[in-house]
Amino acid sequence: MIVLEYKVKAKPHQFVAIDEAIRTAQFCRNKALRYWIDNKGVNGYDLNKYMAVLAKEFNFADKLNSMARQSSAERAWFGVKRFFENCKKKVVGKKGYPKFKKHTRSVEYKTCGWKLSTDKKSINFSDGFNIGKLKLIGTRDLNCYDSKLIKRVRIVKRADGCYVQFCVDVERKETPCSNGNQIGIDVGLEYFYTDSNANTVENPRLLRKSERKLKKLQRRFSKTEKGSIRRRKAQKRLAKKHLQISRQRKDFVVKTARALIQTNSLVVYEDLQVRNMVKNHCLAKSISDASWSMFTDWIDYYVKVFDTHAVAVAPHYTSQECSSCGVIVKKSLSTRTHACSCGCKLHRDHNAAINILNKGLNTLGHSEINAQGQINLCVVDASLKHKLSG
């Protein structure tokens, strides 16, 4: 499944209709959640049936396409199912009990309620909100895909306008890397990541670089009167800046993850609990700005696209353990050099990256590497592929 996104060109009354459709989808989602709370033993199928009852009870809900209402119910059920899964897995801390939404920014249609033009450069929404024809602005050509492969269509509202997303049921595959390179990476704040060959990627610190501009926009927003036009304009400028930063961060993470997977047959990284790490108020902003979770998610995605392999290992003692002799060398966060009594002296992150790779290789039944990062193993063979795929 791939997602193609296009910005839409529309008239003012069409944007108003889009807002009404999004609010109705939020209403349906919240009512489905309330129905689940009030009725014990309700499942996802029951929530879908409840959407038909809701349409008869509320005229504005009936305006929304029937499958769009079902999509809203499915969103509610997804949150319920995730909560139960976390309870079964005994996840530490909050289990993610589903909550009512206040600021939904999208409405999702399935296979009806919309129709592409013959040239696939515009889309027409035909439900009761009369959104009408929206012109699609983007570089990806929809003519490459059959309309029958489009399983979902979303209208997403952002600070700089509205977008239409097409979920296309095709499998994305690219030529895999076959050079046999295998590395471990240690993500950090000094460098975005350091690999087991001592190569580093600079941390862009995108939020920190834009902090001065953000503070200026925030001050202007806070000085405006509530409910005024100036306040809405100031809020929009501030939201656009945050959106720009998030897009820059995603662009950097996606390109870095893709380059890493394209050049290596095996990547080993730490399975970090970022949610717990950001509880440190001194480092929370820097950790969030680094986007480690997004980075590892994209690594896992590109592993499937390029048909290569990635292994997540436990992060315990990777920075403290000596990669040469295995002795624990205690050091604080401010100590950036690993120096062991055996004579091994490396940058802290380089030492950790080697230990991470060693853990990954031991998990797969391979021999370790020495402190200089020289790999003593064979190229990934059929048995290793079978073990990784299993």
Sheet with 200-202, strands from edge to edge, namely: 200-202, 191-195, 182-187, 266-270, 309-313
Percentages of the chain per state (helix, strand, coil), in multiples of 5: 45, 20, 35
Residues 146 and 214 in one domain: no
Cα 153 to chain centroid, rounded = 19
Asked, for residue 92, whether it belongs to a domain, the answer is yes
Place of tokens 């950001």: 278
pLDDT band at residue 302, thresholds of 50, 70 and 90? very high
Q: How many CB atoms lie within 10 A of CB 165?
A: 15
Place of tokens 């834009």: 210
Asked, for residue 75, whether it belongs to a domain, the answer is yes
Q: Which residue has the higher pLDDT, 325 or 8?
A: 8
Residue 386 has pLDDT above 80, yes or no: no
Asked, for residue 174, whether it belongs to a domain, the answer is no
Residue 380 has pLDDT above 50, yes or no: no
Task: Report pLDDT for 92.
Answer: 77
Residue 383 has pLDDT above 60, yes or no: no
Residues 305 and 269 in one domain: yes
pLDDT band at residue 381, thresholds of 50, 70 and 90? very low
Residues 139 and 225 in one domain: no
Segments forming the whole domain that contains residue 87? 2-168
Asked, for residue 114, whether it belongs to a domain, the answer is yes
Residues 207 and 94 in one domain: no
Domain termination residue (choose one: 113, 144, 168)? 168
**Average pLDDT for residues 148-153, to the nearest whole number?**
91
3-class SS of residue 337: strand
Task: Report pLDDT for 135.
Answer: 94
Task: Report pLDDT for 192.
Answer: 93
Residues 341 and 263 in one domain: yes
Residues 164 and 47 in one domain: yes
What are the start-end ranges of the E strands in the chain? 2-9, 106-109, 114-116, 122-125, 132-137, 150-158, 161-168, 182-187, 191-195, 200-202, 266-270, 309-313, 337-339, 345-347
pLDDT digits (tens, 9 = 90+) for 74-129: 999 999 999 999 999 888 778 889 999 999 999 999 988 899 998 889 999 988 89
Least confident of 56-65, 197-206, 280-289, 379-388: 379-388
Mean pLDDT over each residue of the chain, to the nearest integer: 87
Q: Largest alpha-carbon pair distance within the chain?
A: 77
Q: Which residue has the higher pLDDT, 276 or 25?
A: 25
Task: Report pLDDT for 385.
Answer: 40
Task: Report pLDDT for 90.
Answer: 84
Residues 374 and 250 in one domain: yes
Give the total number of structural domains in the chain. 2
Signed CA dihedral, 72, 73, 79, 82: sign only: negative
Task: Report pLDDT for 60.
Answer: 92
Residues 129 and 258 in one domain: no
3-state secondary structure 22-69: HHHHHHHHHHHHHHHHHCCCCCHHHHHHHHHHHHHHCHHHHHCCHHHH
Q: Which two tokens stand for residue 356?
A: 């991470």
Task: Report pLDDT for 365.
Answer: 60
Q: Which residue has the higher pLDDT, 180 or 4?
A: 4
Asked, for residue 175, whether it belongs to a domain, the answer is no
Residue 275's Cβ-count burial label (10 Å; 0-12, 13-18, 19+) is: exposed
Task: Report pLDDT for 387.
Answer: 38
Residues 143 and 188 in one domain: no
Q: How far apart are CA 132 and CA 151, in angstroms?
A: 20
pLDDT digits (tens, 9 = 90+) for 177-187: 778 888 999 99
Least confident of 174-183, 191-200, 289-298: 174-183
Q: Which residue has the higher pLDDT, 229 or 329?
A: 229
Domain termination residue (choose one: 119, 138, 168)? 168
Amino acid at 178: S
Asked, for residue 189, whether it belongs to a domain, the answer is yes
DSSP conformation class of 278: T
**Average pLDDT for residues 309-314, to the nearest whole number?**
90
Domain termination residue (choose one: 113, 142, 168)? 168
Residues 231 and 375 in one domain: yes
Task: Report pLDDT for 76.
Answer: 94
pLDDT digits (tens, 9 = 90+) for 331-377: 888 888 888 888 888 888 898 999 999 888 887 764 444 433 344 43
Residues 151 and 194 in one domain: no
Residue 59 has pLDDT above 50, yes or no: yes
Residue 165 has pLDDT above 70, yes or no: yes
What share of the chain has pLDDT > 70, as a percent? 93
Residues 247 and 147 in one domain: no
Asked, for residue 173, whether it belongs to a domain, the answer is no
Radius of gyration over every alpha carbon of the chain, rounded to an integer in angstroms: 25
Asked, for residue 261, whether it belongs to a domain, the answer is yes
